Chain A
Amino acid sequence: MIQADSLVKRYGSIEAVRGVSFRVDTGSIVGLLGPNGAGKTSLMRILTCYHFPTSGAASVEGHDVSAQPDQVRRVVGYLPENAPSYDDMKAGDFLKFIGSVRGMSGARLRARIDWAVETCGLSPVFTREIRKLSRGYRQRVGLAQAMLHDPPVLILDEPTSGLDPNQILEIRGLIRSLGQSKTVLLSTHILQEVEALCRRVLILNAGKLIAQGTSEEIARDLKEGMVLTVSIKGAPPQGLHESLAALPGVRGVSAVRALGDERTEVDLAVAAGADPSESVYDWAVASGHKILGLSRQKASLEELFSRLTSETTGG
Chain B
Amino acid sequence: MGRIIAIARRELAAYFATPVAYIVVIFFLVITSGWFFFVNGFFAQDAASLRGYFSLWPIVFIPLIPAITMRSWAEERRQGTAEILLTLPARERELVLGKFFGSLALLLTTVLLTVAVPLSVAPLGFFEPGQIAGQYVGAILLGCTGLAAGMLLSALSANQISAFLLGVVFLLLITMIGQIPSALALPGWLAAAFTWLSLDYHFDSFRKGVLDSRDALFFIVLTCVFLYINTKVLILRRFR
Chain A residues packing against B (C-beta within 8 Å): 11, 45, 48-52, 70, 73-74, 76, 78, 80-82, 84-89, 93, 97-98, 100-103, 105, 145
B6 and A101: CB pair below 8 A? yes
Determine how close the nearest CB of chain B comes to the CB of A28; give it in whole angstroms.
22
Name which residue of chain A comes closest to B80, CB basis.
Answer: A84
* Of the residues B17, B80, B84, B240, contact of A11 by C-beta under 8 Å: B240
Query: Is the pair A84, B89 in contact by a Cβ cutoff of 8 Å?
Result: no
Give A145 to B85 CA distance when docked, in angstroms. Answer: 11
Q: Classify the interface of chain A: helix, strand, loop or mixed.
A: loop
Q: How far is the CB of B100 from chain A (nearest CB, A)?
A: 16
Q: Which of B3, B18, B80, B87 contacts A82 (CB 8 A)?
A: B80
Q: Which 4 residue pairs across A and B have the least CB separation, nearest first?
A: A84-B80, A88-B17, A100-B6, A80-B83
Q: Does B14 contact A (CB under 8 A)?
A: yes
Cβ of B89 and Cβ of A85 under 8 Å apart? no
B214 within 8 A of partner (CB): no
B97 at the interface (CB under 8 A from A): no
Are the C-beta atoms of B238 and A100 separated by less than 8 Å? no
Residues of B within 8 A of A (CB): 2-3, 6-7, 9-10, 13-14, 17-18, 79-81, 83-84, 86-91, 238-240
Interchain CB contact under 8 A, B80 and A80: yes
Among A73, A84, A89, the most chain B Cβ lie within 10 Å of the Cβ of A84
- Candidates B2, B13, B238, B239; contact of A89 at CB < 8 Å: B13
CB < 8 Å neighbour of B88 from A82, A86, A101: A101
- Minimal Cβ-Cβ distance residue in A for B14: A88
Contact A51 B80 (CB under 8 A): no
A sample of 22 cross-chain residue pairs with beta-carbon separation below 8 angstroms, ordered by A number, consists of A48-B87, A49-B87, A50-B83, A50-B86, A51-B240, A70-B91, A78-B84, A84-B80, A84-B81, A84-B83, A86-B14, A86-B79, A86-B81, A87-B79, A88-B13, A88-B18, A93-B13, A97-B10, A103-B2, A103-B3, A103-B89, A105-B2
- Within the complex, the shortest CB–CB distance from A189 to chain B, in Å, comes to 19
Chain B residue with the shortest CB-CB distance to A81: B80
Measured between beta carbons, the chain B residues less than 8 angstroms from A49 are 87, 238
Tell whether, in the assembled complex, residue B238 and residue A101 are in contact, meaning their CB atoms are under 8 Å apart: no
Task: Collect the chain A residues with CB atoms within 8 Å of residue B6's CB.
Answer: 97, 100-101
The chain B residue with its CB closest to the CB of A10 is B240
Known: A100-B6, A101-B3, A101-B6. A78 touches B87 (CB 8 A): yes
Residue of B at shortest CB range from A75? B89
A101-B7, A105-B2 are known contacts. Are A52 and B79 too (CB-CB below 8 A)? no
B79's partner among A45, A70, A84 (CB-CB below 8 A) is: A84
Interface centre among B3, B10, B18 (most CB of A within 10 A): B10
Secondary structure at chain B's binding surface: helix, strand, loop or mixed? helix
How long is the Cα–Cα vector from A89 to B9 in the complex, in angstroms? 12
Chain A residue contacts of B88, Cβ below 8 A: 73, 98, 101-102
Contact check, A52 vs B81: say whether CB atoms are below 8 A apart.
no
> Across the interface, do A100 and B3 meet the contact criterion of CB distance under 8 Å?
yes
Q: Write out the residue numbers on chain A whose beta carbons fall within 8 Å of the beta carbon of B10.
A: 86, 89, 97
**Complex Cα spacing A190 to B79, Å:** 24
CB nearest to B88 among chain A residues: A101
From B14, B81, B89, B239, give the contact of A70 (CB < 8 A). Answer: B89
Question: A76, B87: Cβ atoms under 8 Å?
Answer: yes
| Chain A min CB distance to B85 (Å) | 8
Find out whether the CB atom of B87 lies under 8 angstroms from the CB atom of A73: yes
State whether A85 and B84 are in contact (beta carbons under 8 Å apart), knowing that A97-B6, A97-B10 are contacts in the complex.
yes
B-side contacts of A100, CB under 8 Å: 2-3, 6
Contacts of A89 in B (CB 8 A): 10, 13-14, 17
Which residues of the other chain, B, contact A97 by a CB distance below 8 angstroms? 6, 9-10
A198 to B154, CA, bound (A): 41
Q: Which residues of B contact A98 (CB under 8 A)?
A: 84, 88
Chain B residue with the shortest CB-CB distance to A99: B6
Q: How far is the CA of A102 from the CA of B239 in the complex (A)?
A: 24
Q: Which residues of B contact A73 (CB under 8 A)?
A: 87-89
Q: How far is the CA of A65 from the CA of B201 in the complex (A)?
A: 47
Q: In the complex, what residues of B have CB within 8 A of residue A45's CB?
A: 83
Question: Given the complex of chains A and B, what is the CA–CA distance between A93 and B10 in angstroms?
Answer: 9
Rounded to whole Å, the gap between the CB of B18 and the closest CB of chain A is: 6
A73 vs B85: C-alpha distance when bound (angstroms): 11
| B14 cross-chain contacts in A, Cβ below 8 A | 86, 88-89
* 14 further interface pairs, Cβ-Cβ under 8 Å (given A80-B83, A100-B3, A103-B89): A50-B87, A51-B240, A52-B238, A52-B239, A78-B83, A78-B87, A80-B87, A82-B80, A84-B79, A86-B79, A88-B18, A97-B9, A100-B6, A101-B6
